[in-house]
Structure 1
Amino acid sequence: MSSIFPTYARWDVTVQRAEGATLIDTDGKEYLDFTSGIGVCNLGHNHPIVNKKIKEQLDQVWHVSNLFHIPTQEQAATILTENTCGDYVFFCNSGAEGNEAAIKLARKYTGKSKIISFKQSFHGRTFGSMSATGQEKIHEGYGPLLEQFEYAVFNDINSVKSLVDNQVAAVMIEVIQGEGGVHPADPRFMEELQQLCIDNKILLIVDEVQTGIGRTGKAFAYEHYDLSPDIIVSAKGLGNGFPIGAVIGKEKLKEAFGPGSHGSTYGGNPLATTAACAVMSQVFQPEFLKEVEVKGNYFMELLNEKLTSTFVNEIKGKGLMVGIECNGEVGSLLTEMREKGFLALSAGPNVIRLLPPLTVTKEQLKSAVSVLAEVL
Structure 2
Amino acid sequence: MSLNGYFEAAKSAARPLNMVAPERVSAVLLDLADALVAETDFIIRENQKDLDRMSPDDPKYDRLKLSSGRIQDIAADLRNVSSLESPVRAVLAEKQLPNGLLLKKVRVPLGVVGVIYEARPNVTVDVFSLCLKTGNVAVLKGGSDASFSNEAIISVIHRILDVHGIDTNVVTLLPPDRTATEALLNAVDYVDVIIPRGSQHLINYVRENARVPVIETGAGIVHTFVDESADVEKSRDIILNAKTRRVSVCNALDCLLVHEQRVGDLSYLLGQLSESNVMIFADKQAFNQLKDSYPENLLFQAEDEHFGIEFLDYKLAVKIVKNLEEALDHIARFSSKHSEAILSENEANIDAFFNQVDAAAVYSNASTGFTDGAQFGLGAEIGISTQKLHARGPMGLEELTSYKWIVRGNGQVRA
TM-score bracket, shorter-length normalisation: under 0.3
TM-score, normalising length: structure 1: 0.27
Q: Of Structure 1 and Structure 2, which has the larger fraction of its residues in helix?
A: 2
Question: Relative contact order (alpha carbons < 8 A, sep ≥ 6): 1 or 2 greater?
Answer: 1
